[in-house]
Chain A
Amino acid sequence: MRGVLLSPSFPRKRESSSESALDSRFRGNDGFSCRLVMLLALLLAGCGQGDDRTRIYLQRFFGECGAEFGASTDVARAEGECGIMTALINRFNAQNPDVRVDVNVVAWPGYPQLTAQMAARDPSDLVTMHSGVISDYAAKGLLEPVGPYLEQAGIGAGSFTEASRLGVTIGGRLYGLPWDTHGGLFHVNTALFARAGLMRGGKPVLPTSPGELIAQARQFQARTGKPYLIQSNVGDPAYAARNQYTYMIALGAPLFPDSKHIRLATPEGLRVATFFRRINAERLGTRNMDTPAAIAAFVNGEGGIYPTGTWMLGSFQKEATTPGRPLYRSYAVFPYPRLWGEHVEFVSGHAWVVPSRERSAKQKEAIGRFFRFMAAHNFDWARTGHIPAFAAVLEDPRFKALPHRADIAPLGELGRPLPSHVRRQSAIEGLVGEEMAASATGQKPVDQALRDAERRVNELLGEVN
């Protein structure tokens, strides 16, 4: 039982050690009632004494699923991001009786709350963070480099995949335990591909050049009467930004030559943006769809390829194993195909970071132990559809035995996050995606959209301290 009056849930060390100013004011103004209140609070707080476990506070997104997995420690039977995460933490607590991990689930992505906690000098000990956000917090000294924790856990930086290691490395220092890599995938309706004559040896034939993609798309459309690409160009800036980033990086374009500038209005940028404009101009892709509409279109078999993230793999696989559904036994998935230059792809990732704050030696030791536990269970997380952060898991027969994982595993090495010196990556993605969607759908001339995106991003970066 815990105290419920002033700070009922998280009796943090620094909160409990000092009396709040307001308490004093209340006591001075209304002696009897406040004494009564304080007595009650002390009594309730006293009920929580006797727990000498080391407490660490963990903050995460991925939702709340206590109804289904609240008591589960059986990680293998848990499903989905929320279920697997919940079961993992339950299991850590069960296996480490001297440590208590208290979980705080935040509304996705949780950064407003994290920032508020940091402003109040009361952040959690472990936080889930997208790799693209780490630079913003690390630049202000709000995150601890995790080298000592990794060392304690016996985790070497060499054990991470290239993509996941790059995602948490800033200035040569690691600022998080990488947990996965996620990026775009070509989710394919193989039944429609077969009707279009685009299957070879049981696998879909994906294009290897822009010209080939256009030709295949025309063939697909002619034979199936359906669009080749399902696109979410409305209210989903990540979609257009992902396409532009991926193929500009593939072309070797220096997207961010320094921390204050982006370069989009370049010949490479023009080639990529013009290509996606052409797809829309020739009506080879769906139009006017937001993310839910695009997902619904794909699961209803209304198009050949839906380029979206790793996170949809589980949902689509479920459709593919449900008899009677349009995707039943008709689903395959691959990383973005190489269309130009090098076969690489823009990716992001999830990581465990440690916000800067005072901690006891026991708490630090518990964090190291948590890192070791999570690293050992990276395979379990890979069941969500994300690419594991550890290279060894990519080679694990259990991972390869999961549906489609052998096909998407290359993403771990193909993946390229934005350079670590780039801050405000989420906001930048919004600006670039907005302009590129306007370009692709013909609302803006391609060159103007590239110039506008470049100007808006540079203005934003110019304001970053």
Chain B
Amino acid sequence: MERGRLTPLGWAALILGALLMIAPLLWTILLSLKDNAELVGNSGAALHGPYTAENYLAIFGNGSTMRWLLNSTIVALGTTAGVLVLASLAGYGFARLDFPFRRTLFVIVLLGLAVPSQAIILPQHQLFAWLHLHNSYPGLILPGLIGPFGVFFMTTYMRGIPRELDEAAKLDGASRWTIFWKVILPLTVPAQSTLAVFTFLGSWNDYWWPLISATHSDMYTLTVGLAAAQMNYAQTSGLGFLMAQAVFASIPIFIVYIVFQKQIVSAMAGTAVR
């Protein structure tokens, strides 16, 4: 949309929309800066001072918080890296290679998109118990690598890359691996970025699997750890602390959004896939 064409009414609508979107965030931040006891009687006290950083100090004062942050970082980065590698390889295979049952396998992959994670949680938990992988980084990362969306996404993207590029490289004597590594993969960077962002965000925010797989506090991710740190009546007697936790957990996500804003917007607009 061209800026010059926006009418005053349009501007007003945009500003109103922005305010509506940002209001809950501002409310959360203001609550996080208030004394818990003050909020018990009146959460409206968040609209005026005095403000305090005591809720944030309590988060950092908990010796486990940095450990949970590290765990989340390892798990989110590990999952992202794994998904990128596997989805790229699988995508290339489905997009470029001819092998028996290729279409059938691709349909099976697509069917994976229709299976909610809750439906397989019991056998998945049993499998990881049998492998002694609970309370471990592989235990937290491996389930995230099963990403039919990533495979579908990369397959679709790679199918859009002209086959003439492969053929030209082959004429120059390039091996299948060289074609993948030096010709195709560099062209998929926009798709890789998009997939990486979504995978990282999904992994960072995951609560369900870490909750039941990481049952020892040293292996909690940030989402599970912060939930465990809450008192039983957090929403009443510890509202400020609860909101500070929410803000703290959101900061890495916020950074990812800022850094990869372009990729996220293009992905949302559906322009990442050609």
| B229 / chain A contacts, CB cutoff of 8 Å | 63-64, 105
State whether A62 touches B231 (Cβ < 8 A).
Answer: yes
Closest-by-CB residue of A relative to B74 is A4
Do A113 and B135 form a contact, CB below 8 Å, given A64-B62, A120-B125?
no
Closest-CB distance, A47 to chain B (whole angstroms): 15
State whether B230 touches A107 (Cβ < 8 A).
Answer: yes
Q: Name the contact of A66 in the complex, choosing from B61, B130, B133 (C-beta under 8 A).
A: B61
Closest-CB distance, A459 to chain B (whole angstroms): 22
Q: Name the contact of A10 in the complex, choosing from B211, B216, B227 (C-beta under 8 A).
A: B216
State whether A62 touches B136 (Cβ < 8 A).
Answer: no
- Tell me the count of chain A residues lying within 8 A, CB to CB, of chain B: 50
Do A66 and B62 form a contact, CB below 8 Å, given A6-B136, A105-B228?
yes
| A292 / chain B contacts, CB cutoff of 8 Å | 43, 235-236, 239
| B59 / chain A contacts, CB cutoff of 8 Å | 67
Q: Name the contact of A67 in the complex, choosing from B62, B130, B134, B239 (C-beta under 8 A).
A: B62
Q: Name the contact of A6 in the complex, choosing from B42, B126, B138, B218 (C-beta under 8 A).
A: B138
State whether A61 touches B232 (Cβ < 8 A).
Answer: yes
Do A107 and B231 form a contact, CB below 8 Å, given A66-B63, A67-B58?
no
Interface size bucket, B side? Answer: 35 or more
Closest-by-CB residue of A relative to B142 is A22
| A15-B60 Cα distance, complex, nearest whole Å | 31
| A66-B237 Cα distance, complex, nearest whole Å | 18
Q: Is the C-beta of A104 less than 8 angstroms from some C-beta in chain B? A: yes
Q: Is the C-beta of A299 less than 8 angstroms from some C-beta in chain B? A: yes
Q: Name the contact of B131 in the complex, choosing from A21, A117, A326 (C-beta under 8 A).
A: A21
Closest-CB distance, B67 to chain A (whole angstroms): 9
State whether A66 touches B137 (Cβ < 8 A).
Answer: no
Closest-by-CB residue of B relative to A325 is B41
Closest-CB distance, A39 to chain B (whole angstroms): 17
| A299 / chain B contacts, CB cutoff of 8 Å | 40-41
Q: Is the C-beta of A159 less than 8 angstroms from some C-beta in chain B? A: no
State whether B232 touches A81 (Cβ < 8 A).
Answer: yes
Beyond A9-B217, A81-B231: 18 further Cβ-contacts under 8 Å? A8-B136, A9-B218, A20-B133, A22-B138, A61-B232, A63-B229, A64-B62, A66-B63, A67-B58, A103-B217, A105-B217, A107-B230, A108-B230, A122-B129, A291-B236, A292-B239, A295-B236, A315-B40
- By a beta-carbon cutoff of 8 Å, the part of chain A in contact with chain B is 5-10, 15, 18, 20-22, 59, 61-68, 70, 80-82, 103-108, 112-113, 116-117, 119-122, 291-292, 295-296, 299-300, 311, 315, 318-319, 325-326
